[in-house]
């Protein structure tokens, strides 16, 4: 049941990624991120079918690499969704790069993948003592701050709500790991809505902007 739900969630993430890609150049990075998140959901969905072994372990290692290198991409994705200037986009890219390096140094070298079951799902999780994804958490914290600033100054809440969904789902994922994938899908949806909606100008907070 949970595996089937994750398969549907992966399909939903693919749809979100395709929709982001179709918004134009600004949405293509969000599209790439969406496809990466769909891969994560799909691997967990297929885990029980594949069973324990080298194949699932290798696919699961890809999940961790995606989270280490891909999660910081939420920062330039948010900057693009908010139509930020070149300087702000440059800062977002530089911060994302620094967080990706931090994640690669602190998470990947000590990766110790062990099989874990939840309901009808099977996945490989990191059993190492240094498995806390500090860089990914910092990226989502920064995304939340960016989202709150955009909500206050421009009246667009979508990025902040997506970041809050990730935090809530990640906390719940300690008891039910697939909820983490749901939170990532909601974050992706928030970025997509930000891409597709007209943007109010700074100082126009709480002003309703009609759709084009």
Domain ranges (residues) in the chain: 2-196
Mean pLDDT over 174-181 rounds to 89
Predicted confidence band of residue 202 (pLDDT cuts 50, 70, 90)? very low
Evaluated on CA atoms 212, 28, 182, 94, the torsion sign reads negative
pLDDT in tens, 85-124: 899 999 999 999 999 999 999 888 878 899 999 999 999 9
Residue indicated by tokens 């693009």? 80
CA distance 59 to 37: 13
Q: 46, 40, 38: which is closest to 2 by C-alpha?
A: 46
The number of beta carbons lying within 10 Å of the beta carbon of residue 78 is 28
Mean pLDDT computed over 48-60: 94
Average pLDDT of the segment spanning 13-26: 94
Reported as a pLDDT band with limits 50, 70 and 90, residue 170 is: confident
Q: pLDDT tier at 129 (50, 70, 90 boundaries)?
A: low
SS (H, E, C) the chain: CHHHHHHHHHHHHHHHHHHHHHCCHHHHHHHHHHHHHHHHHHHHHHHHHHCCCHHHHHHHHHHHHHHHHHHHHHHHHHHHHCCCCHHHHHHHHHHHHHHHHHHHHHCCCCCCEEEEEECCEEEEEECCCCCCCHHHHHHHHHHHHHHHHHHHHHCCCHHHHHHHHHHHHHHHCCCCCHHHHHHHHHHHHHHHHHHHCCCCCCCCCCCCCCCC
Mean pLDDT for 147-171 is 92
pLDDT(133) > 90: no
Instruction: Tell me the C-alpha distance between 104 and 119, whole Å.
Output: 30
Tens of pLDDT along 61-87?
999 999 999 999 999 999 999 988 899
Compute the distance between CA of residue 190 and CA of residue 210 in angstroms, rounded to an integer: 18
Confidence of residue 155 (pLDDT cuts 50, 70, 90): confident
For residues 153 and 198, the model is more confident at 153
Looking at per-residue pLDDT, the higher value among 82 and 198 belongs to 82
Whole-Å CA distances, 28 to 124, 138, 142, 200: 30, 23, 21, 22
| Mean pLDDT value across residues 156-164 | 93
């Amino acid at each position: 049941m949970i595996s089937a739900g994750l398969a549907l969630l992966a399909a939903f993430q693919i749809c979100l990624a395709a929709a982001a890609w179709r918004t134009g150049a600004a949405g293509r990075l969000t599209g790439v991120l969406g496809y990466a998140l769909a891969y994560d959901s799909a691997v967990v969905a297929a885990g029980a079918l594949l069973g324990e072994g080298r194949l699932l372990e290798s696919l699961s290692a890809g999940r961790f690499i995606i989270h280490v290198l891909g999660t910081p991409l939420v920062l330039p994705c948010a900057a693009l969704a908010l139509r930020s200037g070149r300087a702000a986009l440059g800062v977002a890219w530089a911060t994302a790069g620094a967080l990706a390096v931090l994640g690669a140094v602190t998470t990947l070298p000590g990766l110790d993948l062990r099989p874990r079951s939840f309901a009808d799902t099977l996945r490989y999780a990191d059993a190492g003592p240094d498995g806390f994804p500090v860089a990914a958490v910092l990226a989502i914290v920064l995304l939340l701050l960016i989202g709150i600033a955009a909500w206050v100054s421009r009246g667009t809440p979508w990025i902040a709500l997506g970041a809050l969904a990730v935090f809530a789902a990640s906390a719940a994922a300690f008891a039910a790991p697939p909820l983490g994938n749901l939170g990532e899908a909601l974050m992706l949806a928030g970025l997509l809505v930000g891409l597709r909606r007209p943007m109010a100008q700074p100082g126009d907070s709480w002003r309703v902007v009609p759709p084009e």
